[in-house]
Amino acid sequence: MKVVPVASDKNGNIDFEDLKRQCEKYNNRISSAMITYPSTHGVFEDRIKEICDLIHEHGAQVYMDGANLNAQLGLTSPGYIGADVGHLNLHKTFAIPHGGGGPGIGAIGCKSHLAPFIPGHCVSPINGRKDGAVAAAPYGNGGIMPISYSFIKMMGAPGLLKTA
């Protein structure tokens, strides 16, 4: 595999024309596109659904980095936008500081067509599957999750809408 960067426009958003050129150039050899949404500079891409549709048109999947999903609460969701798989990174979302569970802790969600490829755990079977352990702990870092759970419960739905 080879990483192919896509240009940004003058505002730091994905340059849609450059993305189209890259998609045409590599066509059905694209495996996936990784998108941070909202973007790293904190902006919702105006053309995010078009971006996801374009990636799908070329036979690829969209991975959404959920570095700050607080900003999506009550406004949108990765599935609505068109992402196929996404990681709820708790290092910026739901009260977990970077390093306090760090990047990599949080749920990974995917659309149903990817469900057969989700690994189980060789020591503690998940849904009866004993294959493909990707971490020592089958359900993540249990010591960090109660912090996010407590944050969500204390904020409640009205408070969560204001966290962005």
Model pLDDT for residues 24-47, shown as the tens digit of each residue: 999 989 999 999 888 877 788 889
**pTM of the shown model:** 0.81
Residue 23 CA to residue 57 CA, distance in Å, equals 9
CA proximity to 85, closest of 22, 132, 31: 31
55 three-class SS: helix
pLDDT in tens, the chain (164 residues): 899 999 999 988 999 999 999 999 999 899 999 998 888 777 888 899 999 999 999 999 999 987 777 788 878 888 899 999 988 777 667 777 665 445 556 778 899 999 888 777 777 777 777 776 666 666 666 777 788 889 889 999 888 888 76
Q: Which domains does the chain have, with CATH numbers?
A: 1-88 (3.40.640.10)
